[in-house]
Copies of this chain bind each other. A is one copy, B any other.
């Protein structure tokens, strides 16, 4: 991942509605959600939501696909994981007590180690 892509992704997530929207899609899973459904759930006007969806899509964080009359949006999980990996890249310069049990470990990893 390059810096520009990471900045775009982080900037896309750094906004109230877009963050809520992305988390909604992350939790929705592979089946995704229709744009209109999302707008209703978040209580945001359609035009505003469309703007935010475009931001997330341009940042590569969501994927879109037409299904019947609606357009379905899904979280792009690999992109999310790449972003996280980029943030933590070479954490603590590879010190021994870093990855295994302390600083550079996500909650999910902790559960596995414990």
User: Which residues on A are within 8 Å of B, measured CB to CB?
Assistant: 3, 6-7, 10-11, 13-16, 19-20, 22-23, 26-30, 75, 77-78, 80-82, 84-93, 95, 98-99, 102-109, 112
Copy total for this chain:
2
Q: Main SS of chain A's interface residues? A: helix
Contact of A27 among B15, B84, B90 (CB under 8 A): B90
A52 to nearest B CB, angstroms? 13
Taken together as a complex, chains A and B put the C-alpha atoms of A30 and B11 apart, in Å, by 27
| B residues in contact with A16, CB < 8 Å | 3, 7
Task: Flag if A91 contacts B20 (CB, 8 Å).
Answer: no
Chain B residues with CB under 8 Å of A84's CB are 84, 87, 106-107
> Inside 8 A of A95's CB, which chain B residues have their CB?
29
